Structure 1
Amino acid sequence: MPLTNLIGDLLDDLSRPGMPWQIGSIVAAILLGLVVTRLARGWWQRRRGVADAMHAGVDSFARVMAPLLVVALLTLAQFVLNKYRFHTNIVKVAIPIFWSLALIRAAFYLLRRVFARRGQLGEAFVTFEKIFVLLVWLAVVLYITGLWPDIADFLGSYRLQYGPKKNDFVSIDDLLQGIVTIVVMLMLALWAGTALEERLMGMTALHSSLRVALARVGRAVLIVGAILASLRWVGIDLTVLSVFGGALGVGLGLGMQRIASNYVSGFIILMERSLSIGDMISVTSFTGKVTQINTRYTVLQGLDGVETVVPNEMLISGTVQNQSLSSRRVRAGTKITVAYGSDLDVVMPLLIEQAAGTPRVLEDPAPGCSLSRFGPDGYELDLGFWIADPENGQGGVVSEINKKIYALVSKGEIKLGYPSVDTRLLDSHIASVVARIAKTPEDSSPPAH
């Protein structure tokens, strides 16, 4: 039995003089791998900065580098011990264990870099990680115990028929290898696409829309290339994809027009640069800051924090009000009614002074005040000013200016206009009643008989 042989070899090594060298080699490889990894990570953090190192995933990749270094050192130790004719059964068992640890950490690194959003992991993702760990350790146990070749032979001998011809069959071993190859290549493509996107987003010299477009195109090219390469390695004839392409074209023509339109609209938006991340726009009844421009939809974040997913087709076919397309300067204002009799030559410069001293208000163009009209309650003045950050809203700066104006009103420097009631009609009516009473004889009783 393979397991019996393994146990016998390990017990035999315990009684031989080379056993301390094997244990020492394993301990030394682990310590040296950890020390080298820590030194490399510290050097990278000092060179690029802690925040940038975290952003690039260096800390996560260092967890992969440590077991890989241990495997390399154990392989070197095995070669040296074999040269001096020492038994290395314990080292042979340790090498696949650390290989499996490196594989698990590498898979976790790739998965979290690609699928983890904002550092959050879903329950399904965590469950998948646990299942993956269980499968890897099971494979290691089968390999160490020597049962793996028997299982591989069984999987290779069992074949599945997939066509009418006698040669249309595939073994389970080939099928599993094909699935693993496609998944690995796809994961590497997604990881490369994520790294490319982060790299492009850090290039401030390029326009934000161009960076997003290059990142989307680059990821799509990597995914398609990975799928085609994996299918070719598996042995699938790529000419069969022509049938799939025809079916996809029919599907797009019949039932996926809107989806295709949204994808095409997304690339048009990114290429023509009509919208950029950070722009404050209004489309139909939605207003907000553009936080994401994807190939199918665009995300708007309102001033209340609510995010709206807008299909890209609406941004192409509808009217979009962009407050920061060519210039980020936006005019805002507030209205005030001052009482009749106020000196406008004094009040209007005073209002302009309050706006000019408020944060976020631009000096150029300077604030201005104009007389809108003569209202029923007083002079209606319009105080206008400009801001350069429309994504932060106008309510805050308008409130600050209104509070300054209220302070002037409280001091009596500005008199507000109040609604007035015209009482002249009522006074004339009372006067006519009083006149009739005055003309009435004092004794209006009938004469005595």
Structure 2
Amino acid sequence: MAATQSTAQSDVADTVEKLTDVDPAEAMRLVEDAGDFLLDSVFTVATALQLGALAATFAIASVAAKPLRRRLIGLVTRNVRGYRLKRFGAAVANLLMPILWLALLSALMAALSALAHDTTLLRVITTLVSAWIVIRLFSGLVPDTFWARAVAIAAWSLAALSIVGWLGPAIDLLDGIGFSIGEARLTLLLAIKGVVIGGVLLWAAFALSSLLQRRLEHAPHLTPSLRVLITQITRFTLLLFATLIALNTIGIDFTALAVFSGALGVGLGFGLQKVVSNFVSGIILLLDRSIEPGDVLEISGTYGRVTTLGARYTSVVTRDGTEYLIPNEQFITEQVVNWAYSDTRVRRRVPIGISYSSDMELARRLVVEACAETSRVIDNPKPVCHLVGFGDNAVDLEARFWIADPENGVINVTSDMLRAVWRKFHENGIEFPFPQRDVHLKQGGPVEIVMRKGQAPG
């Protein structure tokens, strides 16, 4: 026990001796070199003058930029035509302060150089401001605000590190931070490269697929379903290649992924069952062309027009502007009424009742005339009116007419037709029936009538 304690104390003493084994003379030399650098390069009159010049020019540029920015934005709004030119003018207006600051710094640096003053700090700051202005102008071409800001910050950080000479040490530092997975080594530098390259490739994949989609929209020889199918397959292929290239950039061996293929298949079978089912259903819908963008359909009580066929869902917009995102699987497993699948013509059946005392043949003729006068009712097939039964209170008629534009609604055209029927019936003395009941009283006995307070007789 005593020997073990003695050994532990000896190890601790050796460790402390190694940590404190520093040459005092070497330490003093490093401290003196640092002090000499600060006195010779930082705490000098020239550096103080340059710092004061930087602060003064920054304040002047900030004050002068505010009224100039408002005036420039007004000129761009009134005189510039075109979205891209207006956007470029707005970007220049937002960068007016650094542009003025750069102009003041350039003029001041030229004056100090003519007087043989040190301008090292001014030169570095001028280069950084110039890089920032150029990067912000080019990043303004990116439509998304988040990605534009991310690109600007990343590019300016690299430029700043390169200007001050710290880019090489920063790369070495990031490359030294990492861990090993088998024979491969994953470093922070590789991870950053993979994220950047993957982001750029994914953005390019979406941009190319969107460009292809806009081009295909103007291709008259392609059906809407075929356009969507080509767009979806192209987008999926581009995204797959972008992901594979990004993974390959950070040094991931794809042969190692084969080990996890079985587990991945089980995960897809259970966890992503609905996602895969909707994706496959979308491909089936695009291939058999049973549903296309622009079709008017009804499913599960939802009536509307198909606006988008996606990889996972289909967008259906109703007449009141509500947009439903319906999973593609429902179009395969449920009953769907497609009002424009093989023929856009749709027949409407509208029940109408008249009183028994009215002229039935005249009423039928008036209903047909009302249908013919309705603007959206087509002439072929012709509208008709049939006698379909004798009800308790009315003679039951049924108007049947056809329309060729169900996407414009069916309730509104029915309403127009019924308004015309109402007008014609009143003009020609055709009565609409009211509910009637015949009450028969049994003979042979008195009828007792009871009156209660507050109630009228009858």
TM-score range, shorter chain: 0.5 to 0.7
The CA distance in 1 between the partners of 2:211 and 2:333, in whole Å, is 33
Write the deviation string for residues 300-343 of structure 1: whole angstroms up to 9, x where unpaired. 33334333332222211232221211112111132221223433
Residue 16 of structure 2 corresponds to which residue in structure 1?
none
Question: Contact 2:366/2:424 (CA < 8 Å) preserved in 1?
Answer: no
Residue 23 of structure 2 corresponds to which residue in structure 1?
none
Residue 358 of structure 2 corresponds to which residue in structure 1?
342
Question: Which residue of 160, 172, 175 corresponds with 2:178?
Answer: 160
**1:246 positional shift:** 4.0
The CA distance in 2 between the partners of 1:190 and 1:181, in whole Å, is 14
Amino-acid identity (%): 31
**1:268 positional shift:** 0.4
Query: Is 1:401 paired with 2:417?
Result: yes
Aligned in 2, Cα 1:265/1:59: closer, same or farther, shift over 3 Å?
farther
The CA distance in 2 between the partners of 1:281 and 1:191, in whole Å, is 31
Larger mean Cα displacement after TM superposition, 214-223 or 402-411: 402-411
**1:130 positional shift:** 5.2
Aligned in 2, Cα 1:313/1:129: closer, same or farther, shift over 3 Å?
same
CA RMSD after TM alignment: 4.7
The CA distance in 2 between the partners of 1:201 and 1:60, in whole Å, is 26
Relative to the length of structure 1, the TM-score reads 0.67
User: Per the alignment, in what secondary structure is the counterpart of residue 173 of structure 2?
Assistant: helix
Aligned in 2, Cα 1:208/1:103: closer, same or farther, shift over 3 Å?
same
The CA distance in 2 between the partners of 1:418 and 1:93, in whole Å, is 88
Aligned in 2, Cα 1:65/1:295: closer, same or farther, shift over 3 Å?
farther
Question: Contact 1:354/1:405 (CA < 8 Å) preserved in 2?
Answer: yes
Question: Contact 1:159/1:169 (CA < 8 Å) preserved in 2?
Answer: no
Question: Contact 1:291/1:300 (CA < 8 Å) preserved in 2?
Answer: yes
Query: Is 1:313 paired with 2:329?
Result: yes
Query: Is 1:375 paired with 2:391?
Result: yes
Residue 146 of structure 1 corresponds to which residue in structure 2?
165
Residue 299 of structure 2 corresponds to which residue in structure 1?
283
Write the deviation string for residues 50-100 of structure 1: whole angstroms up to 9, x where unpaired. xxxx6xx8976999999xxxxxxxxxxxxxxxxxxxx9x698556523442
**1:382 positional shift:** 0.8
Relative to the length of structure 2, the TM-score reads 0.66
Question: Which residue of 177, 184, 192 corresponds with 1:176?
Answer: 192
**1:266 positional shift:** 0.9
Aligned in 2, Cα 1:103/1:286: closer, same or farther, shift over 3 Å?
same
Aligned in 2, Cα 1:340/1:318: closer, same or farther, shift over 3 Å?
same
Question: Contact 1:263/1:312 (CA < 8 Å) preserved in 2?
Answer: yes
Question: Contact 2:209/2:235 (CA < 8 Å) preserved in 1?
Answer: yes
Identify unmatched segments of 5+ residues in structure 1. 13-33, 46-53, 67-86, 113-124, 435-449
User: Per the alignment, in what secondary structure is the counterpart of residue 181 of structure 2?
Assistant: coil
Aligned in 2, Cα 1:376/1:171: closer, same or farther, shift over 3 Å?
closer
Question: Which residue of 272, 289, 294 corresponds with 2:310?
Answer: 294
Query: How many residues matched?
Result: 374
Residue 442 of structure 1 corresponds to which residue in structure 2?
none
Identify unmatched segments of 5+ residues in structure 2. 1-36, 51-71, 94-118, 447-458
